[in-house]
Amino acid sequence: MVTNFCPQCGTRAFEGDRFCRGCGTSLAAPDDPGATASPAADAAAAQPVPAPAPPPASPPASGVTTVLIADDNDIDRALLAAILADEPGFELVGQATDAAQAVALVLELKPDLAILDWMMPAGGGTQATSEIRARAPETQVIGLTASDDDWASLDMRRAGAAGFLVKGASREELMFAVRSALKK
């Protein structure tokens, strides 16, 4: 299995992916005669895409990027929190266990970034993302799921997520997604 990364948003792409699961960008080379214009197109193998260098994060004026994590799984929340705690310039300001709580905490705490599980109680990550982007547009959102299918990614992207990760992504992939989302 070949693993590559989207040159646009940094989302992990697998052998056979023709479109990015995070942003929908075509992963086929521009001169690929089999390239098509939509993610629903045939699933022939995409041209390998080298991993781009992570962009530097754009920290707010305070120099600290504030983050909220929302996931109904305690272990997943703890792992994300531990990774962010080891990264300089990031501060975890809140944790939620469902979509309604995530929206309420974003409105109260106004974090720079919210990392939301796609399948959580009280509306799910898609509904929470739509509400957050409508009511707190300064907060960027990254979708997160255990499901490695295109629908989860497209669903979150359509709701306004700046990026998308599959649970189990490496620390480097997580931080690349975080920094990419903060550039938007």
Asked if residue 16 has pLDDT above 50, the reply is yes
Asked if residue 176 has pLDDT above 60, the reply is yes
Please compute, for residue 162, the number of CA atoms within 13 A of its CA located in the half-sphere on the CB side.
22
Segment of 15-19, 36-40, 46-50, 180-184 carrying the highest mean pLDDT:
180-184
Note the pLDDT of residue 40: 42
Paired with 164 in beta bridges are: 143
Question: Predicted confidence band at 62 (pLDDT cuts at 50, 70, 90)?
Answer: low
What mean pLDDT do residues 27-42 have? 51
Residues of the chain with CATH 3.40.50.2300: 65-182
What mean pLDDT do residues 128-155 have? 90
Q: Which of 115, 110, 53, 64 is nearest to 87 (CA)?
A: 64
CA gap 47, 45 in Å, rounded: 7
Distance of CA 141 to the CA centre of its chain: 7
**Which three-class secondary structure state does DSSP give residue 56?**
coil
The least confident of 14-23, 36-45, 93-102, 121-130 is 36-45
Question: Which residue has better confidence, 56 or 182?
Answer: 182
**Which three-class secondary structure state does DSSP give residue 32?**
coil
Asked if residue 10 has pLDDT above 90, the reply is no
Note the pLDDT of residue 146: 87
Asked if residue 37 has pLDDT above 50, the reply is no
Question: Predicted confidence band at 108 (pLDDT cuts at 50, 70, 90)?
Answer: very high
What mean pLDDT do residues 94-112 have? 96
Residue 163: phi and psi, rounded to 5, are -165, 175
CATH number belonging to domain 65-182: 3.40.50.2300
